[in-house]
Amino acid sequence: MSAEETIKQTVTANDVVLFMKGTKSMPQCGFSSRVAGVLNFMGVDFADVNVLADEDVRQGIKEYSDWPTIPQLYVKGEFVGGCDIVTEMTLSGELDQLFEKEGVTFDKDAAEKIREANA
């Protein structure tokens, strides 16, 4: 299977996917750590794909999304964004709205705590 086929299968088979450097339990860059930390804190069940483990996937995800950086968050097969976008969406409440619209389970109180801590 090509990298593009692997990526497509991964984003369609999982409600929430984070392509990141490292894993959700051991991120290997600050940006990946921030996004994984937000998702973990909010109790989101997500698949993590360590792009450092496969150079074809690392390059392929950038082409797949037409987005140059890692991490990349996908919800229900759709590209959401990278670290800055996910951070902004979390702080504005847009990420909550997206999860609610797409039927993704998350802890609303935890999301509110993130906003309170960053107010």
Q: Report the CATH number that the domain containing residue 46 is assigned in CATH.
A: 3.40.30.10
Burial class (CB in 10 A: 0-12, 13-18, 19+), 80: buried
CA angle 68, 73, 79 (to 5 degrees): 75
Give residue 119's pLDDT: 85
Q: Which domain holds residue 112?
A: 3-117
Distance CA 24, CA 3 (A): 21
pTM of the full structure = 0.96
Of residues 19, 14, 34, 27, the one with CA closest to residue 73: 19
Give residue 49's pLDDT: 97
Give residue 105's pLDDT: 97
CA angle 30, 96, 92 (to 5 degrees): 70
Give residue 1's pLDDT: 82
pLDDT by residue, tens only, the chain of 119 residues: 899 999 999 999 999 999 999 999 999 999 999 999 999 999 999 999 999 999 999 999 999 999 999 999 999 999 999 999 999 999 999 999 999 999 999 999 999 999 999 98
29 is in an annotated binding site: yes
Burial class (CB in 10 A: 0-12, 13-18, 19+), 78: exposed
Tally the domains of the chain: 1
